[in-house]
Amino acid sequence: MRFLSITALLIILLSVPILAGQQTREAAERELAEIQKMIEEYDLDWEAGLTSRLLDYTPEERRQATGLVLPENWREIWAKHLPEKPMEITRDLPAAFDWLDSNKVTGIRSQGSCGSCWIFASVAALEATFWIYRQEVHDLSEQQILSCVSQGWGCEGGWMEEAYEHFRDYGSILEPCMPYEADDGVPCTEDECEVIANITGWVSIPNDVEQIKAAVMEAPVVVAFDVYSDFDGYWGGCYSHLGGGEPEAGHAVLIVGWDDDICNGGAWHVKNSWGDMWGENGYFWMKYESNCNFGDAAARLEVNHVKILDETRLPDAGICNEYEYQMTVEGGNPPYEWSLAIAGIPEGLELEPSGLIHGQALYPSSNYFSLQVKDSSEPPAQWTKFFAMYVIDDSPCQYCGDVEFDNAINVLDVVFIINYAYKGGTAPDPPEFADVNSDTNINILDIVYLINYIYKSGPEPECP
């Protein structure tokens, strides 16, 4: 009887349609057909497909799991972080720009069935900003905010400033210390973890294409927008909504770039938090004119950082002349400490902790090396940058005592000084190169000094 009961149960289970999450494939296909019909009707610039969002969740679950809930006075709160003066765009913005091209954006994550997009967008911004300005790559914990800021309600939605405040006042910890569980009932254990990253503040950005572009050039920007049901099926192209109806919910995402030359008017490139089986490997393009209020509540995070200002190619050094160059840095808390991260500085030159490169190169060469600067913060902000320096052959060189100007100090220089001082010979050029004992006179004392140097290991010539 026990065997028969199990067999009967298996038959019953196999006769039930297999579900992907809570959504049947048939239901997902019906939704997809409706979306594709709308895209064709309005001749939109995007494609729909059977995304993980359609397959894994019912429409109701998707509404609950989007997650952005702006407070009624959000504009008032957000406006407090606007710059005192409107941003002046003083440089020409490129037609296209993307932080992905310079590999400064961390991987795609999934918020799952929890309405925590506001956390994921905020954490993604912090990770990218730290990568850009601190050159530190971290996988930071979303669960920390879910448990320690919004315990008991975070999966029902929140907004980004709650996360920003915690980043500023407490700091952010690593993902392995509080791994994501998509559950706002998980206890807060951040005090058991090391704080890895924090922010000094954030800057609100008006919902204006040029203003947001200028901000994105500094670091990826968190924005809010209205989500319609068709967005769940986004597969590629430049999304916009023209099908009417009411938005399902609000959503928070991260702008990482833009392209003015695509999709008849340009679009933003955006990182989402719905996993890499949705959209274009987890990203999407959003038209500037999307009818979704895209760009509301925009903000860019600010972190304590230092940045090396010098050009990648440093001034050339010569083998005949003393070299002196002071490295420059901005940001952070001085004093700064410089060090050689990857060797390759020309032989004969030294890097002081103050950032001064000095000395005399020994021979012509092409040199490639990396310098690092740290500020006095705890932990320190640091910046590393690669440089090139070329040592050129600017010989023949002339040194103190080399009055013959043959790149050597020997008996010929002694004879030259004797002829000049006592036989009316040619004057040294420059004259001070014959004053090897630096007493402002050229006489027998200089001749003796030079002989001692050449033949008796005496002190080096020291001209005025």
Active site residues: 117, 251, 272
Query: Helix and strand tally (H, E) in the chain?
Result: 11, 20
Beta bridge partners of 250: 68, 226
- In whole angstroms, what is the distance from residue 309 CA to residue 462 CA? 37
- In whole angstroms, what is the distance from residue 214 CA to residue 434 CA? 61
Q: Is the peptide bond before 335 cis (omega within 30 degrees of 0)?
A: yes
- In whole angstroms, what is the distance from residue 409 CA to residue 417 CA? 12
| 157: nearest Cα among 241, 67, 289 | 67
One-letter amino acid of 69: V
| 106: nearest Cα among 123, 136, 121, 128 | 128
For the record, the structure tokens of 187 come out as 């206890």
CA 54 to each of CA 68, 128, 140, 163, 243: distance values in angstroms, whole numbers, following the listed order: 19, 29, 28, 28, 18
| 256: nearest Cα among 223, 291, 302 | 223
| Inter-axis angle of helices 117-133 and 160-169, nearest 10 | 50
- Is there a contact between 68 and 224 (Cβ–Cβ < 8 Å)? yes
- Is there a contact between 374 and 337 (Cβ–Cβ < 8 Å)? yes
Report the relative pairing of strands 323-326 and 356-359 from DSSP bridges.
antiparallel
Neighbours of 88 (CB within 10 A): 8
- Is there a contact between 164 and 199 (Cβ–Cβ < 8 Å)? yes
- In whole angstroms, what is the distance from residue 384 CA to residue 404 CA? 45
- In whole angstroms, what is the distance from residue 393 CA to residue 360 CA? 12
Beta bridge partners of 389: 367
Q: Is the peptide bond before 353 cis (omega within 30 degrees of 0)?
A: no
Find the distance separating the first CA and the last CA of the chain, reported in whole Å.
112
